[in-house]
């Protein structure tokens, strides 16, 4: 039985790829070793499944389509640059979001309920809407990087309209992950 490495997400990279590239280029000059994403693949992960069978994906399709229709498109924009778990020991560099965050949180909560009914355990960590842009491999206490992260601001007032929830297939390659949309679940118009 074929298994597919998969996750549910909202796609934002194509809306903000120039802004994301600008952030990455500003932070790239640090001495820390960081694996940067391709800006066009940036997304908000709502649930990472790991490996699923095609049968599991098909079973989840109707309830996910029904869930998506309970939401109208979300208006989101880039906000701040931050890190997980802390600025003293960064492992993940991310860009936070502004806009319809309450609706996004509601979507996440309802998604967790739907998935729980189908035997999936929700993530125990608090949901923080963000776009992961880099994974820190070696930090070296690079205080210049810390300064750049904590002082970064976005001047753009452009909002992206997110119109669908996407079931992605994730294929890991030596050049980074490749994501393929397997199913899309449109929000109510």
Distance CA 147, CA 169 (A): 36
85 φ, ψ (degrees, to nearest 5) = -85, -25
Domain at 35, CATH number? 3.90.1140.10
The domain total for the chain is 1
Supply the range of the domain harboring residue 164: 3-186
Find out whether 159 and 76 touch, Cβ atoms under 8 Å: yes
Nearest Cα residue to 108 out of 129, 93, 94: 129
* Stronger pLDDT, 17 or 142, i.e. the higher one: 17
Residue range 75-107, pLDDT digits in tens = 999 999 999 999 889 999 999 999 999 999 999
**pLDDT confidence bin for 31, thresholds 50/70/90:** confident
Q: Give tens-digit pLDDT for 57-77.
A: 999 999 999 999 999 999 999
């Amino acid at each position: 039985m074929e298994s597919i490495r998969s996750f549910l997400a909202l796609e934002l990279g194509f809306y903000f790829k120039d802004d994301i590239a600008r952030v990455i280029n500003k932070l790239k000059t640090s001495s820390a070793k960081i694996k940067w994403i391709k800006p066009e693949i940036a997304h908000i992960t709502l649930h990472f499944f790991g490996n699923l069978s095609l049968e599991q994906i098909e079973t989840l399709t109707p309830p996910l389509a029904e869930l998506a229709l309970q939401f109208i498109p979300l208006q989101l924009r880039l906000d701040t640059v931050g890190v997980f778990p802390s600025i003293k020991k960064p492992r993940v560099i991310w860009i936070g979001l502004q806009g319809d965050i309450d609706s996004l949180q509601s979507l996440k909560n309802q998604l967790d309920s739907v998935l729980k009914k189908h035997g999936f355990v929700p993530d125990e960590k608090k949901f923080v809407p963000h776009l992961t842009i880099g994974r820190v491999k070696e930090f070296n206490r690079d205080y210049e990087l810390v300064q750049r992260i904590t002082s970064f601001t976005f001047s753009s007032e452009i909002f992206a309209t997110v119109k669908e929830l996407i079931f992605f297939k994730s294929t890991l390659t030596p050049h980074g992950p490749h994501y393929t949309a397997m199913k899309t679940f449109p929000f109510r118009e």
